[in-house]
Amino acid sequence: MYHLTALVTLLALLFYFYTGVAVARARVMFGVKAPAISGQADFERAFRVQMNTLEWLPIFLPSLWLFAVYVNDAIAAGIGVVWIVGRIVYLVGYSEAAEKRGSGFAIQAFASMALWGGALWGIVSRMMQ
């Protein structure tokens, strides 16, 4: 069973849901009517946090699950928590200024690549047995 990975998956999706709510609130706060996605810098940063999170989910989620299946559930979940922390750091930094998004981006990118590389290693190792 992969209870820890399942829990981290739900937490990642909760974070993504939160970013969607933040964009909706920013639309109201800054008067950016749908379908517009530009025009006010604070809104645009909130929107980019949500979109960047969405752009990384197809890399993160399969890598998370493949790592859990082929390597270890607890380690996958731990790295998954690091990814979520990175996304939070990204959100906080980018919300202040675009220049402050780098450390959060680096944390989540490193976690994603660790999951992807670990999953690849796990799959190839099993194939070689």
The widest CA-to-CA distance across the chain, in whole angstroms, is: 59
pTM, 2 dp = 0.96
CATH number at residue 60: 1.20.120.550
How far CA 46 is from CA of 33, 88, 121, in Å, comes to 14, 12, 36
Number of domains in the chain: 1
Q: Report whether pLDDT(16) > 90.
A: yes
Give 19-72 pLDDT, tens digit per residue: 999 999 999 999 999 999 998 999 999 999 999 999 999 999 999 999 999 999
Please name the residues in contact with 46: beta carbons below 8 A apart, sequence gap of 6 or more.
Answer: 19, 22, 23, 26, 95
Q: For residue 116, what are the domain limits?
A: 3-128
Split at pLDDT 50, 70, 90, the class of 77 is very high
Are residues 15 and 82 in contact, defined by beta-carbon separation less than 8 angstroms?
A: no
